[in-house]
A and B are shown apart, each in its own frame.
Chain A
């Protein structure tokens, strides 16, 4: 069955969600991943949207932002951003999705400044809720385009902490829990291995290991059980295409 890279990434992201989990849903592809998980293997999942929305079923309509009117109609709870952050600070959020401009070998994500923050080469939009999700959720899931300039040895600025400098860095910083669960890219899926360094766990169908390595800014290790990413199932594609028939997010 034919599918796009975007659709494969949505499905890979959806499979990171377990049934009955509370998920902090990020912008763009995660909004579709939540819908796929909900309508396939995780019918009891609950979604948090940082603008102050909780949903127990996804909107039937395509969302361009999480505050769009179809995301409020049929919501389970409309509340304040702080209330959702309070619950996450207590440990009530199982996993959260973010994107980013840059990520490094220890899974630290930068969405703030390229170059020195006092005199930056590029000013990126900033954290939004990403820094909070990275520090307070139980598992951080990151979705990014796989390019050498984006997957870099060391980020210029840690907006959303992964494992810092590796090892027990998070504990040393006092971060209460969490860390990277997986990084889903246009070429494969990575997970933390020894010393909490990101290692390649699966390669998307049709992609060569060399291509992944060439497009990664550090000496990428392949995990012990390197596999091929399972392609999307028809029922997963059905969900994506029912919501995004024109491929706005996944084309």
Chain B
């Protein structure tokens, strides 16, 4: 099988184009691929349509740095603090420039990607009837089926889905555990899939538990070994959420100048993800590391 290992720099350079629609994290609060967002900013990618149910401050920083043309999301802000300053500045004042918003709920964005995964043109739902979301997002259509009012959610097949996993082999077979959000739907719907993995493991390790596989390797375009990729968000079994980082971001990004300083400190003045981890600090990362071990009971896959 084809080997798909690339560096983070190569993966973003080779598979993300200006103007692409990109799912960036799909597990909501955990497993957010911040390392990929930082690299996108270092490579100055532009005019992205960023897609996710909730990806915490990842969207806010991409918007503030001017990489985003459109936000397709259920929620954008700072989960610890509430509002996202850059998101507000862009929508309310067009600063650094105006962005388009495609309003969704968690269910409708989940259905859009599930529809994409199914190869269906749309999926119907009883949710969102009577909401402003149906008015501000004209792609959602109210229809009647057998006398029942429904909202038809058009499917989304993103150009790229960037997702985090705990471990993958070099062919893109990967294990993801904990809450899944809409990561599996996004992986199946993506025209290209980039996986950031805490660890690269032997294929036999992944094959030992096929029920835990996110998608088979043939759907995956690129695999990046990238320990610490989700910081400041958590990865089950590896590290906890760095709550203070989110609060500090909120305080420091209140003004445009404050955000520029933050961006310079953590993204633009560092050359790589490894440098970023150094900037965050070893002591801080060590304090977040998961120290206990709680293994699942083994399952027997034997044939006879």
Contact = CB atoms under 8 A, between A and B. Distances in A.
Contacts of A174: 126, 129-130, 148-150
Contacts of B53: 81, 128
B74 A127 contact: yes
Contact of B91 (A123, A129, A175): A123
A66 interface: yes
Interface string B226-259: 0000000110100011010000000000000000
B294 A73 contact: yes
A73 B240 CA distance: 12
Interface string A57-88: 00000001111110011010011111001000
A127 B111 contact: no
B181 A51 contact: yes
A143 interface: no
Contact of B88 (A123, A158, A169): A123
Contact of B130 (A79, A82, A125, A170): A170
8 closest Cβ contacts across the A-B interface? A174-B149, A67-B29, A125-B77, A52-B179, A173-B130, A51-B28, A123-B91, A129-B106
Contacts of B236: 69, 72
B105 interface: yes
Given A64-B243, A135-B127, A135-B130, 4 more contacts: A65-B79, A68-B241, A113-B132, A128-B53
A135 B91 contact: no
A173 B28 contact: no
Interface string B49-71: 00001100000000000000000
Q: How large is the interface on A (under 10, 10 to 19, 20 to 34, 35 or more residues)?
A: 35 or more
Contacts, number: 190
Interface residues of B, number: 60
A160 interface: yes
A7 B215 CA distance: 44
B129 A135 contact: yes
Contacts of A34: none
Interface of A: 27, 49-53, 64-69, 72-73, 75, 78-82, 85, 89, 110, 112-113, 117, 120-132, 134-136, 157-161, 164, 169-170, 173-176
A113 B87 CA distance: 12
Given A51-B27, A89-B126, A173-B149, A131 B105 contact: yes
Contacts of B83: 124-125
Nearest to A64: B243
B129 A129 contact: no
**Which of A80, A122, A130 has its CB near the most chain B CB atoms (within 10 A)?**
A80
Interface in B132-167: 132-133, 135-136, 148-150
Contact of B234 (A69, A78, A130): A69
A111 B95 CA distance: 22
Nearest to A248: B243
Contacts of B114: 82
B131 A125 contact: no
B127 A131 contact: yes
Contact of B184 (A80, A127, A160, A170): A80
A123 B114 CA distance: 28
A50 B106 contact: yes
A81 B182 contact: yes
B179 A78 contact: yes
Contact of B179 (A49, A135, A136, A173): A49
A72 B103 contact: no
Contacts of A78: 177-180
**Which of B27, B87, B88, B126 has its CB near the most chain A CB atoms (within 10 A)?**
B126
Given A50-B28, A72-B236, A131 B149 contact: no
B131 A67 contact: no
A160 B76 CA distance: 16
Given A69-B290, A174-B148, A129 B107 contact: yes
Contacts of A129: 74, 105-107
B129 A81 contact: no
B104 interface: yes
B110 interface: yes
Nearest to A27: B79
Contacts of A130: 105
**Which of A110, A117, A127, A129 has its CB near the most chain B CB atoms (within 10 A)?**
A127
